[in-house]
Structure 1
Amino acid sequence: MIKKIKVGFWEFIAGIILRNRITILIVIGIITVFLAFQWHKIQFTHSEANLLPDDHIVNIEYNAFLKKFGEEGNLIVVGVKSEELFTPKAFSAWNKLMTDLKDDKEVDLVVSVNDLKKLQKNDSLQRFELVSFTNDKKVLSKEYLSEIKNDLFQKLPFYEGLLYNKKSGSIRSAIYLDKKIVNTIIRKEYVLDAFIPKIEAFEKETGIDLKVSGMPYIRTLNAKSIVDEIGLFVGAALFITSLIFFLFFRSHRATLISVVIVIIGVMWTFGLLGLFNYQITVLTAVVPSLVIIIGIPNCIFLTNKYQQEYVAHGNKAKSLQRVITKVGTATLMTNLTTAAGFATFIITNSEILKEFGIIASISIIALFFLCLIIIPIYYSYQPVPQPKHLEHLNRNYTRVFMSWIERTVKYRKSYVYTVSIALFCISIYGALQIKTSGSLIEDMPKNTDFFKDIIFFEKEFDGVMPLEIMIDTKRKKGVLKLSTLKKMDELQKTIEEIPELSKPISILNLVKYSKQAYYNGNPGYYDLPTSQEQTFIASYAKNAFNGGKKDIMKSYVDKEGQVARITTFMKDIGTGNMEKIDQKLWKKINEIFPPDRYTVTITGKASVFEKGTKYLLDNLVSSLLFAVFLIALLMVIMFRSFKMVIVSLIPNILPLMITAGLMGFFGIPLKPSTILVFSIAFGLSVDDTIHFLAQYRQELTKHNWKIKKSVFATLQEAGVSMFYTSVVLFCGFSVFMLSSFGGTIALGGLIAMTLGFGMLSNLMLLPSLVLTLNKRLANEQEFHEPTINIVDKEDYEENLEEK
């Protein structure tokens, strides 16, 4: 009785689908319309991807820093390396550009040569004053501009590294945005609609090429590139997969319905993003394309099965019913394993990965039901397949390819094992060579102007990625004590000795500048004051600064004078080098700042991203093992055979090892984009295994439980579909190599390569293992009745009669 319930499940489902076609299509239409109305909620993320859990110590420290000093990624820099800048026409245009930027309500502060302030001593009032560096009353002659440039480079060491590079002669301006808009859409609108047009107008007027960078600018243009590529990926994926589908089946009707199904799937994906109030990130942006790439293979299996059934008995109604009953479970399981590959990211505790895993896995399961429902309903209204539509079942190139596979499995199993073991050993050696990368900019599009500008600022000003050091003296006004300033000076000298870091900025710079000003601007006195000098300087400085909007140093000490901030900028250095820099800094910090008197924190976007990458890498193994466990569990449920679990895992782990080995040999690092490859590729590669074993189970009942005969019958029956779907997946993921983002290129290329190896492994190694592990005749007691039945009831009874 239990057995009859199991074998009748898919017949029951088939009956519901084929008897309620109109009603079901109306329901799908209503769901599609409902989800389409959720699109207006979709927003693109306006902050960097946080790869760490909210309760991670690194996030806690970073949030504490933001609470104390506010958003640190609000600096845009505009640089130029040209003698032409100090000509009357160009300098006048530069002054106008900076004045226009300063007048923008989105800008908090502009520090530039044209309105630079210098510290000057007023003996009569016994105080310091901020006076203009340039004289507006003077005519902008070449001589005067040359004097300005000379004074800037020779007399104002305070601004070295901030506004100029003394060695190369590069000049830059610092534009500090209002911190309140940095992580909002206002930042995006300002940069694209106001800031960039002004930069372009200056370049057109003067012919001078300006370099622009800084986190708000980089993030805005990087996000724009991601949004622009969503349409590219969806269009390219749809075109290439539907073209391959048509070339295989030579049927406009079959191609059309497949395209319609994946388009509905894409609409549902966008609707789910809006429904869950998830933002579009660099990861969720690729899910619509994944839906297309994964959906077309579903359509291939179902369409192929329908045509095979029609060829077998010529009964259209029976063929449609058997499409559902024969491959329903197998297709469900393949989609579950694919979804499981994505779902493993849910356990990482990283919000961006969790959202990606949820959207991708739900979209894939929804896509399965769309395919299983719409394809039989569609063909029920269509004429029967014509002979030209069935030619692909016996097409010459597929027949030659499958014949070669069969001969290899039949006569050269030892070669298959030898090559597999050799590849596995070589791949292990290559995998041990893999390096990691925690770079914020490595995956950015390298052919864009903004990336080239990043390289300019790395060369001229040692980077644009902020690294912050927060020093808590644990007592009010402890920062301005001479002993604390000396310790900070010692730490800043260590920072300056590290070539990957820029010249640091802190309250210490202002204290040194105060001493220079006290000695009438002599740059030789740009240094820490002695205890005696500090007394006199303090009396001059007491009423010199009232804070406010234009005080550049206001964000470097808290209101109580207890916590100091040192800001430096990093080059694009990656995870390994970042760890070395951390070690150097902490060695010095522990040496000069006793933990019982000071609390020091190293944070900032660069540090958080690097540590986030390391966190993901540390969790890679557990995530992949979870995927293996989850998929193995599905195999156990499906086949109730330990042998089948072993047989299913080995051919799919080998391609992963080969990919890891190639990454090591070709110097492709592990980073947030490439670590996604393994779980995704494993979930997809197992699909072929399930289709093979599901068909193998059916063939066993047909061939009196004879292993060898069943294996080769399985290759003939399922091999073509496995080949077709693997080609579609390979070409589909290759579409991502059209991207300008290095991470997306690596993701697409590595998954495509893994699936290519996976296809060969499942067509050659998998049947070889089945033959080897089941040398004796199988029987129904050895190959247990599966928990989820994969043999249709009618076939089962027919096979019993044949016996």
Structure 2
Amino acid sequence: MFPRLQIDTDPENMLSSDAPARVFHNDIKTKFVMHDMVVVGVVSNDSIYQAQHLQTLNQLSQFILQFEDVISNDYLALDVVDNITQEFDAQGNNTGIKFSYLMKNAPTTTEGAAALEAAVKRLPMLENTLVSGDDKAAAIYIPLTSKDKSYGVAEQIREFADTLDTSLEIHITGLPIAEDQFGYEMFVQMGVAAPLAGLAIFLLLWYFFRNLPLIVAPMIVAMATVIIIMGSLIGMGFTVHIMSSMIAIFLMPIAVVDSVHILSEFADRYKKGEDVNSVLTQVMKHLYKPMLFTSLTSAVGFFSLLLTPIPPVKIFGAFIGSGILLAFALTVIFIPVYISRMSPAAIENLHNAVTRLEQKGILSKVLVALGAHAQQKAKLIIPAFLLVLGLSIVGISKIVINDNPVNWFKQDHQIRVADKVLNEHFAGTYDAWLVFESAVNNQQQIQESLHINLQDMQKQGLDVSQIQAHLRGKGIDQELLVLLDDLSFSVDSEYSESVDTMLQLVERELNERKVFMQPEMLDWLSNLQAALIDSGMVGKVNSITDIVKTVNRELRSGNEADFAIPESANGVAQTLLQYQSSHRPQDLWHFVDTDYQSALLWLQMTSGDNQHMNAVVTWVEDYIASNPAPIAVEADWAGKSYLNVVWQDLMVSGMLDSLLSSFVIVFLMMVLLFRSLKYGFLAMLPLTFTITMIYGLIGWMGKAYDMPIAVLSALTLGLSIDFAIHFLQRLRELRTELGSMSQALTQMCQEPSRAISRNAIVIAIGFTPLLLSPLVPYITVGFFLASIMVVSALVTLVLLPALLILTDKS
């Protein structure tokens, strides 16, 4: 199934296809013909308005325009946009308005470059969008037929840029390229990290057991688990998302956990000359129940992710949970069979190697000392843990929810560098769309009036069935106006007055609906734009008002005094009609629909962080509440930056629900396993402390709660309880056997603690290859999962003995 692999890194797919925010976003993209844009920035140490720099920019732009995947109609660069000026006749009289290409050919003189600079500064749609406010950079916006073409396009641009003889820096950024390049590097990471994790585990098992034939067995289990689960995921038609790309690296160390327990206990129990199958039977009888429950609880932790509303997280949880259960089944069937078929010499070597390791190893000495300390200093250990718990809770209160796909790369990555450089120069390479829709609608009342007139005409024998059908199906629109106009020419004079009345009704309704042709509404939009920029949260806002003001200025005096909204709707209509004669009339429909009932504001921001987007949304809500629109409108949001906020909020609430529900389920399972509320409660302590400490550490470190951090709750729940189950199950057996809690705890410092420690080390080391990744989510997961293993093992081996020695004096 692996050849059918499909990579998906689109954060939009974090939302289900029918999620309201996603549906609205896609409807807006269609309605206003908006595209995902890759941004190419050309940066100079001095002014970009120099002939040689502009020629390089033109050369680069013409190269990009040749790509099949570029939507040329909506491509934005200095060489394809219009300059809007007044037109004069030979006598110097103003004869109208002129649209000419701004930079069809790059200027070759200083004067030509200066003229271009003057023209750009008179065009608000271009200033600080295509040329930076400091005049040191120019940008090209590349709309693509599909955002998954971003990486291929960017690579071709980089190759071409290397051939240019120029001092300019050329950078490529934008959320589409960040996401697509992440997909490419994620694929590479999958091929590197998983084998490295396997190698690290193999070397660690060799250090522990010094028996090559034996350690092959858990590696077979791990590889079989990974291949079967990933093959099933791909074969069932699921794409490999950033979440599911981590399945292999997660399952590799988790799949060997039970094998390490079996190998450790077998090596500890086996004595020379004993029957291997009898020893294996004792080992499996002893370990079967704790291994089953640790596998079930770990699986529950991951299956709880099915409660989240995020599809990739559901898939991740389902397949990791299934992988854990598969690994358990393979382990309990394959490992005993494998050991039973080993030669007596190989088994003897295993026993001798483990015995030597335990007698002289640092691990054994540390565990004995740790166990003794836990018993002797119990009254100090418990307050110390409570203090750490309190500090962790304070740390949790400091956690902030934030994510940004560009930040998935290291700071020295070319994507991060480009993002930083271009956002220092321009109004912003991150965008969001604020959409206003008219809330004015008298359609029902007018429809009733029209139906009455049409029914009267029908009774008189007139065929008005087409108009009636249109009115029922599509309501009042421009097409209905055309049908009524046609009817006025075909009816007798006795009906002409009635048809004229209907025409006037429909025409008035359609004109009233043209909210975004009304001067007072455009003035309100213009004020909102200015206030947004003054807030400092938005670098620039582009809308229909910029087009109207610019054309109005050139239609009148050409002076800044006329850079304003006309006083009448007819004046606005005249400016828009003039704009339709430009080389890019389609640009108007990016900001308003053809009925002028909806308008879009394109916000440019220098930050793509969720927190920043949330702040902008809140600011706009407050502004509209304090400054209501003169005509009733409804506001909503779209754009990639806003969608990231939506799925992050869903993930946070979904993760909390899954954590709470699985926590309760695991507690009930512990009570069932131990047949005791006390031991069920004790089993939950390492889990509770680990989750609290890890998230407290995240808060104190100032690490934002992002996508990788969000799934750690399920991972912590699934893995932390493993050690407590094995510890308490074996302790209860020793307590019954020895008749003393103190002696049982002392005995626990031997093989049981070593097995737990080995597992913690194996899993922690198994995740360390992720630290070498160029991708921040992988590094984050690697660091915190290793931390989870260390913390949960320490809590199990220190806190539980301290509590037990105080509560059971025997």
Scaled to the shorter chain, the TM-score interval is 0.7 to 0.9
For residue 389 of structure 1, the aligned residue among 333, 339, 353 is 353
* Map of 2:470 onto structure 1: none
Determine the structure 2 residue equivalent to 1:676: 711
Q: Distance in 1 between the 2:698 and 2:552 partners?
A: 55
List per-residue Cα deviations over 1:173-222 (Å, max 9, x = no partner): 222223xx23xx44444444x444333333xx324211222222222222
The answer (yes or no) to whether the contact 2:303–2:321 under 8 Å persists in 1 is yes
Superposition deviation, residue 681 in structure 1: 1.5
Is the Cα contact below 8 Å between 1:155 and 1:522 reproduced in 2? no
1:90 Cα shift? 4.5
- Structural mapping, 1:23-62, within 5 Å: 38-52=1-15, 57-62=20-25
Q: In terms of mean alpha carbon deviation, does 393-402 or 62-71 score higher? A: 62-71
Deviation at 1:71, TM superposition (A): 5.0
Mapping 1:297-376, distance limit 5 Å? 297-311=257-271, 314-376=274-336
Partner of 1:162: 129
Aligned 8 A contact 1:291 1:364 in 2: yes
2:364 equivalent among 399, 420, 429: 399
Q: Name the residue aligned to 1:515.
A: 552
Deviations 1:427-475 (A, max 9, x none): 2223222233243433333221111111122211233222110011246
Structure 1 residues 112 and 144, CA gap change in structure 2 (3 angstroms): farther
Distance 1:553 1:767, change over 3 A: same
What is the match of residue 488 of structure 1?
525
Partner of 1:177: 144
Note if 1:621 corresponds to 2:641: no
CA, structure 1 residues 260+520, in 2 after alignment: closer, same or farther (shift >3 Å)? farther
Q: Which residue of 1 aligns with 2:741?
A: 707
Partner of 2:390: 425
Match for residue 644 of structure 1?
679
Decide which structure has the larger Cα Rg and report it: 2
Of 715, 718, 724 in structure 2, the residue corresponding to residue 689 of structure 1 is 724
Q: Which residue of 200, 204, 218 maps to 2:162?
A: 200
Whether the 8 Å contact between 1:337 and 1:631 is mirrored in structure 2 is: yes
1:157–1:523: 8 Å Cα contact kept in structure 2? Answer: no
Cα distance change, pair 574–186 in 1 and its aligned pair in 2 (3 A): closer
Change (3 A) 1:401 1:635: same
Looking at structure 1, the residues matched to 576 and 643 of structure 2 have their Cα atoms a distance apart, in angstroms, of 36
Within the candidate set 65, 72, 79, 1:102 is matched to 65
Instruction: Give the AA of the match of 1:485.
Output: L
Matched, 1:460 2:460: no
1:424 touches 1:658 (CA, 8 Å); kept in 2? Answer: yes
What is the letter of the counterpart of residue 766 of structure 2? G
Q: 1:132 corresponds to which residue? A: 101
| C-alpha distance 152-376 of structure 1, shift in aligned 2 (>3 A) | farther
Match of 1:413 in 2: 378
Q: CA deviation at 1:575?
A: 4.3
**Using the alignment, how far apart are the partners of 1:381 and 1:293 within structure 2?**
25
Q: Is the 8 A contact 1:472 1:562 kept in 2?
A: yes
Equivalent of 1:498 in 535, 539, 547: 535
| 2:517 counterpart SS class | coil
Q: After TM superposition, list the pairs within 5 Å mapping 1:187-266 onto structure 2.
A: 187-192=150-155, 194-202=156-164, 205-266=165-226
Counterpart CA distance in 2 for 1:87 and 1:516 is 28
Whether the 8 Å contact between 2:124 and 2:546 is mirrored in structure 1 is no
Q: Identity across aligned pairs (percent)?
A: 17
Change (3 A) 1:652 1:541: closer
Structure 1 pair 541–337 and aligned structure 2 pair: CA distance change class (3 A): closer
Q: Is the 8 A contact 2:541 2:601 kept in 1?
A: yes
Structure 1 residues 467 and 241, CA gap change in structure 2 (3 angstroms): same
Deviation at 1:758, TM superposition (A): 1.2
TM-score (norm 1): 0.84
Task: Assess if the C-alpha contact under 8 Å between 1:652 and 1:762 holds in 2.
Answer: no
Q: Where does the alignment leave 5 or more consecutive residues of structure 2 unmatched?
A: 441-512
Q: Verify the 8 A CA contact 2:517 2:596 in the aligned structure 1.
A: yes
- Residue number among 577, 596, 604 corresponding to 1:542 in the alignment: 577
- Partners of 1:438 and 1:50 lie apart in 2 by 15
Cα distance between partner residues in 1 of 2:348 and 2:691? 41
Tell me the secondary structure at the aligned position of residue 802 of structure 2: helix
Q: Cα gap change, 1:330/1:207 in structure 2, threshold over 3 Å: closer, same or farther? A: same
Going from structure 1 to structure 2, the CA distance change for 1:92 and 1:343 (only over 3 Å counts) comes to: same
Q: Does the 8 Å CA contact 2:137/2:425 hold for their aligned counterparts?
A: yes
SS state of the match for residue 181, structure 2? helix
Pairwise CA distance, 1:274 = 0.8
**8 Å CA contact retained: 1:547, 1:554:** no
Distance in 2 (CA, whole Å) between partners of 1:478 and 1:656 is: 53
| CA displacement at 1:642 relative to structure 2 | 0.7
Read off the aligned partner of 1:497 and give its amino acid letter: D
Structure 1 residue 593: deviation in Å?
4.0
- Shift in Å at residue 544 of structure 1? 4.4
> For 2:617, what is the secondary structure of its paired residue?
helix
CA distance in 2, matches of 1:78, 1:511: 28
8 A contact 2:21–2:643 mirrored in 1: yes
Q: Relative to 1, partners in 2 of residues 1:76 and 1:134: Cα closer, same or farther, differing over 3 Å?
A: closer
Number of aligned positions between the proteins:
727
One of 280, 291, 294 as aligned partner of 2:240: 280
RMSD value, Cα: 2.8
Could you tell me how far apart the structure 2 residues matched to 1:482 and 1:546 are?
A: 22
Partner of 2:614: 579
Are 1:79 and 2:42 an aligned pair? yes
Measure how far apart 1:749 and its partner are: 1.6
CA contact (8 A) 1:75 1:214 kept: yes
Q: In the aligned structure 1, how far is the partner of 2:571 from the partner of 2:95?
A: 10
Q: Distance in 2 between matches of 1:158 and 1:527?
A: 15
> What CA distance in whole angstroms lies between the structure 1 residues aligned with 2:428 and 2:666?
45
Q: 1:67 to 1:554 in 2, by over 3 A?
A: closer
SS of residue paired to 2:759: helix
